[in-house]
Amino acid sequence: MSIIWKKCNIYLSLAIVIMLFLVQSVTAKEESTHSIVVTGTGIINENNVARAREKAISESLVTAVGVVMADVVPLEVFVPNFQTLNEIIYTHTKNFISGYRVLAETKYKNRYRVIVQVRVSVVKIKQQLIGIGIIVGETEKPRILLLVAEQNIGDLVPNYWWREAASKKENTAETFLAKIFMSKGFLIMEHVNPPEFTEDNNLFFETPDPDLRAVTALARYFQADIVVMGHASAEQAPNTMGENLRSFKGTVLVKAIHISQQEEIGKSFQTIITLNADEAAGGTEAISQAASLAGRELALQITSSYKKKKNETSKIKIIVEGTRILANLVKFRRALNSLDNVGEIRSSEMKADETTVIVEYNGDVNTLAESLMLKSFESFGINISEVLQDQLRIVLVPVDKIKEPELPATNFKSEVLKE
């Protein structure tokens, strides 16, 4: 081989290395498509250069999809699902490719190398991952609060974090449930200490089975959409092997409650038998395995139910007048967001003294109007001047300008056009 040819190969190899790490996130012609440059190598067998070239291109396409998928999926989701994601990359590669172009290619000994520019569809990757439950849609990510009382072997009473004298002992069931939910793309709300409510303190702290009122208050305090609550326990089973190896039974019973709907949307009961020579370790292992199974089953139920609930919500336009005082508008939106059955709130138009917001609401417009009338504000009152089928017109009236109404406005009915 000539010196010139050797130098060319060195320069080409350097170029390949540089371009391999040069992952471009430039916007392609198609929206939500990433264009990147990668390399691929094919082994030449029996002088079949064409086949080696084909393999090299195929390898580059797989690499491109893998790079984009790693960018799309959060690390905490990617790692535990690596095997499944790897299978998706290899078996569905062409489904995610919008196009590619070979920029350079060369033959070196028994290898054929290519540099390829590939356009990968981020939208199609996300659709695939949402479809199989690896991730959930960005607008459909419920925030989950875990309320699981756990009693391991040796514990005299169940341990749970929401009581005043909560144990610092790790809750194995919650830890493994959180791992499963996060691997599916859900958001887990962190809790360090029980909340200090100014009222009804005794409502929360002294029972491993909080009622719906307590669960709802805790969820709103931690800004959770869904509460997963229940029990986890471990006990020694009668079976033994030899002098040391014993069997342990782990049981986890959990249910998911949709807070705005105030209803149960999923439930799982799992029992696992494990073997261990150590009593404490055996109980912990049994609980962890049962919690992992329960988490997987419950995650599927939550995803299905939550998507259905999102689809059932209606969009109501609220025209808010008297918004020149920005602080009043902020307080009004905060109150609106705190109402049951209210989903996403987004501003669609802002004028000098009028703001229009679109509210996702699971219910009719009359119920929303009545719920708003029950809210009290220190610096202003609200006057609902118009109620249509999918629209409210509300005036924010400063306290010093509020007048007693001539007639009580307590009944709201939609104005339906009649023929």
Structure confidence by residue, pLDDT tens digits, 47-103: 898 999 999 999 999 999 988 888 877 776 777 777 778 877 777 888 889 889 999
Residue 133: its pLDDT value, please? 60
Helices marked H in 73-160: 75-78, 82-91, 122-131
Tell which CATH architecture fits domain 138-311.
2-Layer Sandwich (3.30)
Is residue 293's pLDDT more than 90?
yes
Q: Top-level CATH class of 3-131?
A: alpha beta
Tell which CATH architecture fits domain 314-401.
2-Layer Sandwich (3.30)
Phi, psi of 29 (to 5 degrees): -65, -40
Residue 15: its pLDDT value, please? 47
Average confidence (pLDDT) over 263-282? 89
Q: What is the Cα–Cα distance from 249 to 234, expressed in whole angstroms?
A: 6
Question: What are the structure tokens assigned to 12, written together?
Answer: 């080409």
Phi, psi of 27 (to 5 degrees): -80, 125
Residue 416: its pLDDT value, please? 38
Give me the amino acid identity at 334.
R
Angle at 265 between CA 273 and CA 316, to 5 degrees: 155
By mean pLDDT, which of 10-14, 149-153, 253-257 is the weakest?
A: 10-14
Q: What is the Cα–Cα distance from 60 to 66, expressed in whole angstroms?
A: 10
User: What are the domain boundaries of the chain?
Assistant: 3-131, 138-311, 314-401
Q: What is the pLDDT of residues 170-225, one digit of tens each?
A: 899 999 999 999 888 788 988 765 566 544 444 555 788 888 888 888 888 888 88
Residue 306: its pLDDT value, please? 67
Pairing verdict, β 143-151 and 97-108: unpaired
Q: What is the Cα–Cα distance from 307 to 316, expressed in whole angstroms?
A: 19
Q: What is the Cα–Cα distance from 355 to 238, expressed in whole angstroms?
A: 68
- Look up residue 78 and give its DSSP letter: H
Nearest residue to 93 (alpha-carbon basis) of 61, 126, 51: 61
Residue 324: its pLDDT value, please? 73
Residue 403: its pLDDT value, please? 55
Give one DSSP letter per residue of 15-51, joined into a string: HHHHHHH----EE-SSTTEEEEEEEEEEE--TT-HHH
> Percent of the chain beyond pLDDT 90?
26
Phi, psi of 309 (to 5 degrees): -65, -40
